[in-house]
Amino acid sequence: MVDMKMLHSFGRAKTVDLGGWFDEIEAEVYQSLARHIRCGVVIEVGVWKGRSLSTILEVCRRNETRVYAVDTWKPDLRDGYGEAAERNIEAIFRQNIRRLGYAESVEIFAEKSCKASRRFPDGCVDLVFIDAEHSYKAVMEDIRHWFPKISKSGTIAGHDYTTRAGVRRAVDELFGEYVALPGGSIWAVKKSEFSR
């Protein structure tokens, strides 16, 4: 069981601001996707302040799995990200990861999803979790860039399947019957099943 409140209770000097859009059920689902990976590679695309990413950091550290965070921290301000115009969200993310004690465990690529995907050879990533721009076109592009990077036994997954029409349309169009909905607003596709 993931205690999201615990993540906030670091005492006054070390309070972390993990505001975001990820509930406890989703945290458990995300952990279950990451838990079986050993000495692997996990990438989250779209991390904002680190709320969702923070829920898998301990399990990945324990299993010696490398974690990469990808974000431009320049979201479309019309899409509910007004805070990004006033505050340095990248700095908040970096501070959160440090204060939670995982600065050494996370490699950060402050760049666009498609650019970051080119850093990874095909077939080398165990889990990609996509939670960046939610338009149909953006999700299609993200999946097209990241799916080839997934290993044969790996999983591509993401957030907001039930809450954003663009996400659902893109995911359904690309993966159809192979889409699993393990809980909350998370979608997931195992490469081994899709490529069968």
Binding site for ligand SAM (CB under 6 A): 20-22, 46-49, 51-52, 70-75, 112-113, 131-133
Tokens for 141?
């592009």
Strands (E), the chain: 41-45, 66-70, 106-109, 125-130, 150-158, 180-183, 186-190
26 vs 126 by CB, closer to ligand SAM? 26
- Sorted by sequence, the CB contacts under 8 Å of residue 167 that are 6+ apart come out as 134, 136, 139, 158, 159, 160, 161, 187
38 vs 144 by CB, closer to ligand SAM? 144
Nearest distance in Å: CB 20, ligand SAM: 2
Nearest distance in Å: CB 17, ligand SAM: 11
Nearest distance in Å: CB 72, ligand SAM: 4
23 vs 178 by CB, closer to ligand SAM? 23
